């Protein structure tokens, strides 16, 4: 299963989910690869030290003859590998413009490595540009994190429309894996209203697990750790563990 974590809205928990969900699945014994497609390089930075970083996604998508082994980085989590991003990924868009099969680059690349892993995750940037489209074309599933706040669903139509377009032609097999409520605040009526609304709109596609807003989750990237080693008994650790079970069940 190849899962793109996508929402063109910024700051909704894509990267936090990519890191902790992939770590949870690896801890359950799955062989997991996390590809960081966000030019800011957050997922990679929090799991591998920058001085160890092998080639980035930029070269992966532009230097097509470079072997996979030049890109894969082991992490502190057993069974979890990462392909980091660097700021240079922003140049990918410019480089691929006008290229015939630009939207298939990632899919062609992934084809050669997918058998090595049980699960591959893509962390995507907050745009619906060529990088996110590459992820949707290469993925078998998409997971949409939605922040429980005002205007939570704003922009979701554009995302769903893009998913439909990708399904219409380049990737008919693309499935919505689920919608995840993030940054939930149990104390506010607003959060509960938004959650109820999301459940109404998405029905069974909404994951039962909700990710609560927590200081521990916010702090963990600064410590270059997934939540399970940084704060194993926190609500965030428990919730991402639960989410990983739901994801693996849907697989
Ligand atoms: N459950 C949570 N509790 C507290 N803080 C959180 C939680 N989830 C994410 N955050 C924080 O919110 C901010 C945005 O989260 P994150 O980077 O995961 O979102 P994103 O969708 O990847 O953002 P971008 O679109 O910019 O890539 C980060 O500072 C992160 O640490
Ligand atoms: Mg991010």
**Lining residues, ligand 1, CB within 6 Å:** 10-16, 38, 42, 126, 182-183, 211, 213-214, 217-218, 221
* Residues with Cβ within 8 Å of residue 189, at least 6 apart in sequence: none
Q: What is the CATH number of the domain that holds 34?
A: 3.40.50.300
Give the number of domains in the chain.
1
- Tell me the sheet residues that pair with 73: 82
Nearest CA owner, ligand 1 atom 30: 218
Nearest ligand to the C-alpha atom of residue 237 = 1
Q: State which of 13, 126, 184 you would mutate to test the pocket of ligand 1, scoring each by most atoms of that ligand within 8 A of its C-beta.
A: 13
Q: pLDDT tens digit string along 89-131? A: 678 888 887 788 899 999 999 999 999 999 999 999 999 999 9
Q: Mean pLDDT, the chain, as a whole number?
A: 91
Outline where the chain has alpha helix (H).
Answer: 14-27, 42-47, 57-62, 90-96, 105-111, 130-138, 156-168, 189-202, 215-219, 227-230, 235-250
Nearest CA owner, ligand 1 atom 18: 13
Ligand 1 atom having least distance to the Cα of 220:
31
Closest of 175, 173, 197 to residue 184, by C-alpha: 197
Instruction: Tell me which H or E stretch contains 177.
Output: strand 175-182
Nearest ligand to the C-alpha atom of residue 9 = 1
Expressed as residue numbers, the domain containing 84 is: 2-250
Q: What's the CA-to-centroid distance between 182 and ligand 1, angstroms?
A: 9
Q: What's the CA-to-centroid distance between 8 and ligand 2, angstroms?
A: 10
Q: What percent of the chain has pLDDT over 70?
A: 94
pTM of the model: 0.96
Rounded to a whole number of angstroms, the CA Rg of the chain reads 17
Q: What confidence tier does 221 reach under pLDDT thresholds 50, 70, 90?
A: confident
Q: What confidence tier does 50 reach under pLDDT thresholds 50, 70, 90?
A: low
């Amino acid at each position: 299963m190849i899962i793109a974590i996508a929402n063109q809205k910024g700051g909704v928990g894509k990267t936090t989910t990519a890191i902790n969900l992939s770590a949870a699945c690896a801890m359950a014994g799955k062989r997991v690869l996390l590809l960081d497609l966000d030019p800011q390089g957050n997922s990679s930075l929090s799991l591998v030290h920058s001085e160890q970083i092998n080639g980035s996604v930029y070269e992966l998508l532009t230097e097509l003859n470079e072997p996979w082994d030049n890109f894969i980085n082991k992490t502190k989590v057993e069974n979890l590998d990462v392909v980091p991003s660097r700021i240079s990924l922003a140049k990918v868009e410019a480089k691929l413009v006008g290229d015939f099969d630009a939207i298939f680059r990632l899919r062609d690349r992934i084809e050669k490595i997918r058998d090595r892993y049980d699960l591959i995750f893509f962390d995507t940037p907050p745009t619906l540009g060529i990088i996110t489209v590459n992820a949707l074309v290469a993925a078998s599933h998409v997971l949409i994190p939605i922040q429980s706040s005002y205007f939570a669903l704003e922009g979701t139509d554009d995302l769903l429309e893009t998913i439909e377009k990708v399904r219409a032609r380049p990737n008919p097999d693309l499935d919505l894996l689920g919608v995840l409520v993030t940054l939930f605040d149990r104390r506010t009526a607003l959060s509960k209203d938004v959650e109820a609304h999301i459940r109404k709109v998405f029905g069974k596609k909404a994951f039962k697990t909700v990710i609560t807003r927590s200081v521990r989750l916010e702090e963990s990237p600064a410590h270059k750790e997934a939540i399970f080693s940084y704060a194993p008994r926190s609500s965030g650790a428990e919730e991402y563990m639960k989410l990983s079970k739901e994801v693996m069940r849907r697989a």
